[in-house]
A and B are shown apart, each in its own frame.
Chain A
Amino acid sequence: MEQTPYEYDVLVVGAGGAGLRAAIEASAAGASCGVICKSLLGKAHTVMAEGGMAAAIGNVDERDDWKVHVTDTLRGGQYLSNPKMAEIHAKEAPERALELEAWGALFDRTKDGRILQRNFGGHRYPRLAHVGDRTGLEMIRTLQDHGIHRGIDFHMEYTVFRLLLDDGRVAGALAYDRERGRFRVYRAKAVVLATGGIGRAFRITSNSWEYTGDGHALAYDAGADLIDMEFVQFHPTGMVWPPSVRGILVTEGVRGEGGILLNSDGDRFLFDEIPALYKDQTADSAEEGWRYVVGDRDARRPPELLTRDHVARCIVNQIKSGKGSPHGGVYLDIAWIKEKISNSEDHIKKKLPSMYHQFKELAGLDITKERMEVGPTTHYVMGGVRVDAESQMSTVPGLYAAGECAAGLHGANRLGGNSLSDLLVFGKRAGEYAAAFAREEGDVSLDEAQVEAAVGEALEPLEREDGEGPYQIQHELQDLMQEKVGIVRIESELEEAIEEIGRLSERARAVSAPGNREYNPGWHTALDLHPLLVASEAVARAGLLRRESRGAQFRDDYPRKDEHFGKVIIRAARGADGEMVVEEIPVEPMSDELTRLVEEMG
């Protein structure tokens, strides 16, 4: 271990959009700031975001403003969001988008040279600032290139193993260097978790190896509350063929540009599945849907742009009823727009360049000519660390969370495009408040014994010779979550899953990953098991407790919404005996102004 600890006012864990934005803000506030990331800088999952960032700038439709955005977000979240967070998000997103432009980001433009905005599921007006279908790359590169000139230290390819505490307050972190296997101790007056999601707990996912619920488990282990963990977003359109790319995301932007979903009979099945809550906002003919796509302001959006939870479930139903495509998906067709516009091939390549590329290279399919096969893929977790709406501080003093690993904004379902804006709005706030906390609360001290115990624990898999390998346990967990805690859930299976997660946790405590400490993937996988298991257990337990279907949670045994569960969210935390405790707590109350807005906008 390196003996001298690194010392920062603010330590940020994660270098995606939220982590980078937090670090930039903390450092602008005068705090010394270090960022720890598992990958190289600029590779975090933000890079994969395609469609755009939602911000009610109103450049394309001046009827849009924060009030419409907040009500769209609350409706999309089935009224379980923290209303204050939804309000802050809607109000501050435009400023964050414009600020990105001042730092060098280039978005696509309107005819008069302003930022162009596109349609997306659940958003009433064209709202997503975007650059073709590679908005995430533009965003992360802008933040990265801006950040490297701000005196921030980047610790690349380090993984945080444990948060260190000083009398209940966060005091730093123990991390290991993935390249060389050395431990490093960080002392910090405040820590911002920005570690992203938990997608690797499932077999079919759009998430990379990094998304193992690290921030969720670090916070949980430190005594923080998690909320909303039952709500895992299954994106309706992931690739299904060939097998090796199963789960890779196909952007909602395809549907935003006019792509339609068809079953094996060639029916546009979503027209028969429009939920009551969205009846008034949804087109009732293919003709009206197309008018919406091309910008007719009197047209309502096509059913393909209903919320992700709903579209994903409808796809599953088509497949289950035998109307799926040959490889177990449904068809997504953008090529059909050639009936409507003469230069459709160029248009598609220009609007969706990376989708064109992705299908061409990975599936040998030309999306300007052929239909794609798509199916649901685990994409995002709405649940995460419970934070204060204004400051993003968790229930542990000095510990902040922002982006996907935090919870509250999205409620039961996240709208597409609200993630990139979430990262910026709350990343900035977390950085700002963490810097202020560090300034006001003063120094912390590290407890040697805590550090040594954690190091010992981390080394166990390397030193143990007779245990089973970590990959087997990881694969079994992924299969279990996919089969029993997936898109359609039922009490008996959730109970079985919880028991099985307990058994897998036992086995995880006895794994072996012999070999070198340098870049040893077996060892890394062994250490990833704990966070994956914590996150999985929270998803399953919260899913069991919520005896209703709402947003991303669909319970076959309780297929309808339940009034009681519309008023509560589920909190998971470590109990006194070390076991996970889940309980209902009331939804954060809505201000009178918001209540009025929600009523007005329907």
Chain B
Amino acid sequence: MAATRFRIWRQDGAEGEGGYRDYTTDVTEGMVVLDAVHQIQAESANDLAVRWNCKAGKCGSCSAEVNGNPRLMCMTRMSDLPTDRPVTVEPMRAFPVIRDLVCDVSWNYEVKKKIAPFEPRPPDAEDGTWRIAQEDVERVQEFRKCIECFLCQDVCHVLRDHHLHDEFVGPRFFVYNAALEMHPLDTADRLASLKRDEGIGYCNITKCCTKVCPEHITITDNAIIPLKERVVSEFYDPLKKLFRVFSGSARA
């Protein structure tokens, strides 16, 4: 058992002024950052606000910045952090703070509503079921593992530094698009919207999102780049462009 120092962001409501406050608590074997935060809450800061749920890395609720790194608090072991300085815990910085470590992520839920929903092809069999190869299921599994912790959104500079929330949906929703676009049964077309409304062109593939993903989804290489390629071949392929001019398609 070792007394460990923490610097935790406290902020009294969205409009309140925030700042770090110092706490000390005993850290025992196997503890994760969320345990320490809860212990501090129980011992000396009863009103410390923290959002959490499953405590097993499956729900994506306890996203925060630990020593400046976007992390799930429940999956960050204390034994992996340096002990010679206080552990800093603060809310995700790409979203407005509601209180202390809790931020307002409602923008993400609004964004999702605007993405064209799943639209299956007609069933393959008379009993209304489909036949799908396991390889095709596995190809999109990676994207469907997403737990919507929004850490990728937090770290994306287009949102975090340039605040282009109205023009850019962020890595989470490129992964979501990829899951739908590469779904073996889906027939909807999201390419025009990806280009026009979702701002996929703003992503300059710095791969920050991939680095922070707790589910280890290769966001940039496997989701964003293939989507960018599809958009390019749809809208910038000279033959297709010519075809659109003559067919009067308004899709561009």
Apart from A48-B58, A116-B134: 20 A-B pairs, beta carbons within 8 A: A103-B118, A106-B183, A107-B137, A109-B133, A131-B144, A156-B109, A208-B52, A208-B54, A208-B59, A210-B53, A242-B30, A243-B28, A244-B31, A245-B30, A248-B56, A249-B56, A362-B57, A362-B75, A471-B46, A521-B41
Return A143 CB to nearest CB of chain B, in Å: 12
Mark contacts of A144-177 with chain B using CB atoms, 8 A cut-off: 1 yes-contact digit, 0 otherwise.
Answer: 0110110000101000000000000000000000
Return A61 CB to nearest CB of chain B, in Å: 17
**B120 pairs with A104, CB closer than 8 A:** yes
| Range of interface residues on B (Cβ < 8 Å) | 35 or more
What number of A residues sit within 8 Å (CB to CB) of B?
63
Residues of B within 8 A of A115 (CB): 129
**A109 pairs with B30, CB closer than 8 A:** no
Return B113 CB to nearest CB of chain A, in Å: 5
Stretch in A17-25, A367-375, A501-509, A511-519 touching the partner:
A511-519
Docked complex Cα distance between A104 and B180 (Å): 8
Mark contacts of B113-143 with chain A using CB atoms, 8 A cut-off: 1 yes-contact digit, 0 otherwise.
Answer: 1000110100000001111111001001100
**A521 pairs with B49, CB closer than 8 A:** yes
Smallest CB gap from B117: residue in A: A149
Stretch in A134-142, A386-394, A536-544 touching the partner:
A134-142
**A518 pairs with B31, CB closer than 8 A:** no
**A354 pairs with B58, CB closer than 8 A:** yes
**A41 pairs with B129, CB closer than 8 A:** no
Residues of A within 8 A of B89 (CB): none
Interface centre among A149, A244, A513 (most CB of B within 10 A): A244
Q: Using a CB-CB cutoff of 8 Å, which residues 92-118 of chain A contact chain B?
A: 98, 101-104, 106-109, 111-116
User: B55 within 8 Å of A by Cβ?
Assistant: yes
**A137 pairs with B147, CB closer than 8 A:** yes
**A357 pairs with B47, CB closer than 8 A:** no
**B55 pairs with A208, CB closer than 8 A:** yes
Q: Is the interface of B mostly helix, strand, loop or mixed?
A: loop
**B53 pairs with A243, CB closer than 8 A:** no
**B49 pairs with A518, CB closer than 8 A:** yes
Docked complex Cα distance between A209 and B51 (Å): 10
Docked complex Cα distance between A109 and B134 (Å): 5
**A520 pairs with B49, CB closer than 8 A:** yes
**B56 pairs with A48, CB closer than 8 A:** yes
User: A45 within 8 Å of B by Cβ?
Assistant: yes
Residues of B within 8 A of A41 (CB): 109
> Which of B12, B113, B184 contacts A516, CB < 8 Å?
B12
**A45 pairs with B54, CB closer than 8 A:** yes
User: B205 within 8 Å of A by Cβ?
Assistant: no
Residues of B within 8 A of A522 (CB): 46-47
User: B234 within 8 Å of A by Cβ?
Assistant: no
> Which of A98, A210, A243, A362 contacts B56, CB < 8 Å?
A362
Take A208-B53, A361-B75 as given contacts and tell me if A113 and B133 are in contact as well, using a CB distance cutoff of 8 Å.
yes
Docked complex Cα distance between A248 and B54 (Å): 9
Smallest CB gap from B110: residue in A: A148
Residues of A within 8 A of B109 (CB): 40-41, 148, 154, 156
User: A132 within 8 Å of B by Cβ?
Assistant: yes
Task: Point out residues on A near B: beta carbons under 8 Å.
Answer: 39-43, 45, 47-48, 98, 101-104, 106-109, 111-116, 131-132, 134, 137-138, 141, 145-146, 148-149, 154, 156, 179-180, 208-210, 241-245, 248-249, 354, 357-358, 361-363, 469, 471, 513, 515-516, 518-522
Return B1 CB to nearest CB of chain A, in Å: 12
**A179 pairs with B31, CB closer than 8 A:** no
> Which of A111, A148, A521 contacts B47, CB < 8 Å?
A521
Residues of B within 8 A of A98 (CB): 128-129
* 3 closest Cβ pairs, A-B complex: A242-B30, A113-B131, A104-B118
Docked complex Cα distance between A45 and B28 (Å): 27
Docked complex Cα distance between A362 and B113 (Å): 34
Smallest CB gap from A246: residue in B: B30
> Which of B30, B105, B106, B117 contacts A244, CB < 8 Å?
B30
Smallest CB gap from A154: residue in B: B109
Return B40 CB to nearest CB of chain A, in Å: 12
Docked complex Cα distance between A132 and B106 (Å): 30
Interface centre among B30, B50, B133, B141 (most CB of A within 10 A): B30
> Which of A42, A47, A145, A243 contacts B30, CB < 8 Å?
A243
**A244 pairs with B131, CB closer than 8 A:** no
**A43 pairs with B30, CB closer than 8 A:** no
**B140 pairs with A106, CB closer than 8 A:** yes
